Structure 1
Amino acid sequence: MTSMGKTRQTVSVGLCAAAVAAALMAPAQAAPTAVAGDGPRWSLKETGAEVRFRGLAAVNRATAWVAGSRGTVLRTADGGRSWRNVSPPGAEGLEFRDIEAFDGRRAVVLAIGEGEASRILRTTDGGISWTESFRNTDPRAFYDCITFFDSRNGLAMSDPVDGKYRILSTRDAGKSWRVLPSAGMPAAQPGEAGFAASGQCLVSSGPRDVWLATGGGATARVLHSADRGLNWTAAESTLPAGDPARGVFALAFRDRRHGIAVGGDYRGDQQSPRAGAVSKDGGRTWQQSATPPPAYRSGVTWLPHSRVAALAVGPTGTDLTVDGGRHWRTVDTGSYDTVDCAPDFGCWASGEKGRVARLELRGSRSGIPGGDYPSGG
């Protein structure tokens, strides 16, 4: 869920981060689409689709890609006012769960499933045409997520094969993929796997660091590699485990040390009392959030240019933290599966029944007079 957007002027984005965090802390109103009060809020964008979009890539406030069920890929270039259906021809039987976009023309999308259902496709012309660059031929493999370190180097991960997670690597922007050696991968726990819920079970930060989220085993773990997937270490998180429906569903790292994990139990009739955790040492250790999200959450993202503010989303709402993940509060009750932000504060969320929303920033309503940040558009 990576995008390579242009960073705004430092002073401008600093004020924007402060404005968003302050406005989001305002008392929430009852409107189901409001993030909080009169400040920034989710604005639903009509997509004309009814599929579930678990794959999302925010390029900027104008451009975003979403990918979902029935082989559907949509792209907007006007802030969500209109969407172009750029689904790969003949992909109706595929289940897209992750998409990584470098700009409005170049994107890589992952289809999940057993055996040949797991595929990777790429486009360099805004979705006019697609090329299949990987098709899984091992019936034991099931690919869940992809991530990119930069515009050329990336990884994809599969559930364990022969007792270890399988990692694919690309060095040419997704044109070709190779399976990495498994010697540096710790053994998986019995029943352990990744969750293809939001495109955030495999995430990267910087040129070499990557983290992998797990569930379904006796403990919910986070695996970390500092050399682009060759060697890994495993750490136990504090999130619920011990059941195939429980674990870490999404990760977000704002740098190579500071991370947030969210998840829980995805079954609607089950409680998730420990749905959030934080790490300050690159994922070596995790501490339970003092006030975690109140329910299962499947997606999480740091707000751009902020060291403390992040959003988490799930079927029952959106939560905000302004202290790096230690305390969370619900600021919206709409259903979303995943969330992603671009450097220019193009923050997007997507989910079931074709739902896509963008975080709207209104200067006069932000709670910070004179803040220099985007408004409308």
Structure 2
Amino acid sequence: MRVLIFGLLLVGLFSCKHEASIIPRSFSEMEIETLLQDSLLNVRALEIIPQIDGAFFLCSKGYGGSISRIDSEETLFETEVVYPIQIIEDEINFRSFGQTNDAAFGLSIENPAFLYKIGRDETTLVYKENHPKAFYDSMDFWNDQEGIAIGDPTDDCMSVIITRDGGDTWTKLSCDNLPKAKAGEAAFAASDTNIAIIGDHTWVATGGKSSRILYSPDKGKTWEVYDTPIIQGKETTGIYSMDFYDEKNGFAIGGDYTKPNDTLNNKIRTNDGGKTWQVVANGNGPGYRSCVQYVPNSEGKELVAIGFKGIDYSNDAGDSWKHLSDEGYYTIRFLNDSVAYAAGKGRISKLTFKE
């Protein structure tokens, strides 16, 4: 394994939080600036790194890259992209990315599953799982010491691994401590947004023939499970992405990627912490989308949904939607309340939303 020193790119990593309160705006247009275009790119793992005013992404073949905002005499916003960065020499496919103040973490799909701790001075394999059904989908951290990753069932429950020591070791939870999975229930590694964390509260979205919400109030120590009304029943249906604005308000989106124009029962919302969910904009707005995110500082009113069929925006918590672009991406993360990075097949772009 060839170790890569990341230096300043990994100093002071921490997750973005929703904060402040304003009256919801109404975006009417969006500017797309392509930052990187490469036919080999296939990016679904993307996270904001506030300390460099940018982001880091992981992709296939053991590679990743960085996006940063740099000072310039000619412009207030010049973007620098560094790609490819070789994380490891093995050609694994990263679909999940997590971060603490001290390190970054990349998790691969398929068997065997590899989880690497990417430090300032070295890259270390901290977890490996050999199982014919191994397939991890998403990862997130509660704090600098405690983190979680989820994957498809290898037994009769979802796969859940947890660290309590800053990512140095990971332990897979026993199915005795998790809700039993239903037949055909799994998750989608579509955008690394199957997990939502607010404080100690954790929500995990499943999909497939059964699409539910696993909820933990105590950082993964105990779990409950809630049903959802989203479309389900096939291997390709269910929740593909979920975000929470605060402890009560959350939104999930998905559908059936084989029928991307279908708009029935693919958008759901909760205002009681995930216990109950309601279908919104039924028959209207976006069809299948692989990622949904709340716009920061929007009082939980503004949402952006993104997928290979385009980009859509809501400023009324998902009741109605405006289609902003046909340009396709897999995942999106907001740098601030008007600028985001979007990644997908063949490219990474900066999106600037305007009223």
State whether TM-score is above 0.5.
yes
Q: Deviations over 1:280-337 (max 9, x none)?
A: 0111100001355431011111111212111111111111111122222211111111
What is the total number of aligned residue pairs between the two structures? 332
Secondary structure of 1:247's match?
A: strand
- Find the aligned partners of 2:202 and 2:339 in 1 and give their Cα distance: 23
Q: Deviations over 1:14-47 (max 9, x none)?
A: 5xx65xx5351x3xxxxxxxxx1xxx53322125
Q: Is 2:105 the counterpart of 1:98?
A: no
Question: For 1:224, which of 204, 215, 219 is the aligned residue?
Answer: 215
- Find the aligned partners of 1:137 and 1:202 in 2 and give their Cα distance: 23
- Find the aligned partners of 1:47 and 1:341 in 2 and give their Cα distance: 20
Cα RMSD between the aligned structures?
A: 2.5
Secondary structure of 2:208's match?
A: coil
Q: Is 2:48 the counterpart of 1:55?
A: no
Question: For 1:195, which of 173, 182, 188 is the aligned residue?
Answer: 188
- Find the aligned partners of 2:262 and 2:343 in 1 and give their Cα distance: 23
Q: Map 1:1-377 onto structure 2 (within 5 A).
A: 4=14, 21-24=24-27, 26=28, 36=29, 40-48=30-38, 50-60=40-50, 62-78=53-69, 80-92=79-91, 94-102=92-100, 106-114=103-111, 116=112, 118-125=113-120, 129-206=122-199, 208-217=200-209, 219-268=210-259, 271-291=262-282, 293-307=285-299, 308-342=301-335, 346-353=339-346, 355-360=347-352, 366-367=354-355
- When residues 186 and 303 of structure 1 are mapped into structure 2, their CA distance, relative to the original with a 3 A threshold, is same
Secondary structure of 2:207's match?
A: coil
Residue 239 of structure 1 deviates from its aligned partner by 1.5
- Residue identity in the other structure for 2:36: E
- Find the aligned partners of 1:344 and 1:259 in 2 and give their Cα distance: 18
Mind listing any 5+ residue stretches in structure 1 that lack a counterpart? 27-35, 368-377
Contact between 1:248 and 1:263, CA under 8 Å: does it hold in 2? yes
Secondary structure of 2:25's match?
A: helix
- Find the aligned partners of 2:312 and 2:185 in 1 and give their Cα distance: 27
- Residue identity in the other structure for 2:115: I
Higher strand share: 2
- Residue identity in the other structure for 1:356: I
Secondary structure of 1:324's match?
A: coil
- When residues 142 and 133 of structure 1 are mapped into structure 2, their CA distance, relative to the original with a 3 A threshold, is same
Contact between 2:295 and 2:337, CA under 8 Å: does it hold in 1? no
Residue 341 of structure 1 deviates from its aligned partner by 1.9
- Residue identity in the other structure for 1:357: S
Over the matched positions of the two proteins, sequence identity in percent amounts to 27
- Find the aligned partners of 1:65 and 1:147 in 2 and give their Cα distance: 14
Q: TM-score, normalised by structure 2?
A: 0.85
Contact between 2:249 and 2:273, CA under 8 Å: does it hold in 1? yes
- Residue identity in the other structure for 2:266: A
Mind listing any 5+ residue stretches in structure 2 that lack a counterpart? 1-12, 70-77
- Residue identity in the other structure for 1:109: G
- Residue identity in the other structure for 1:226: P
- When residues 43 and 270 of structure 1 are mapped into structure 2, their CA distance, relative to the original with a 3 A threshold, is closer
- Find the aligned partners of 2:259 and 2:267 in 1 and give their Cα distance: 17
- Find the aligned partners of 1:238 and 1:80 in 2 and give their Cα distance: 41
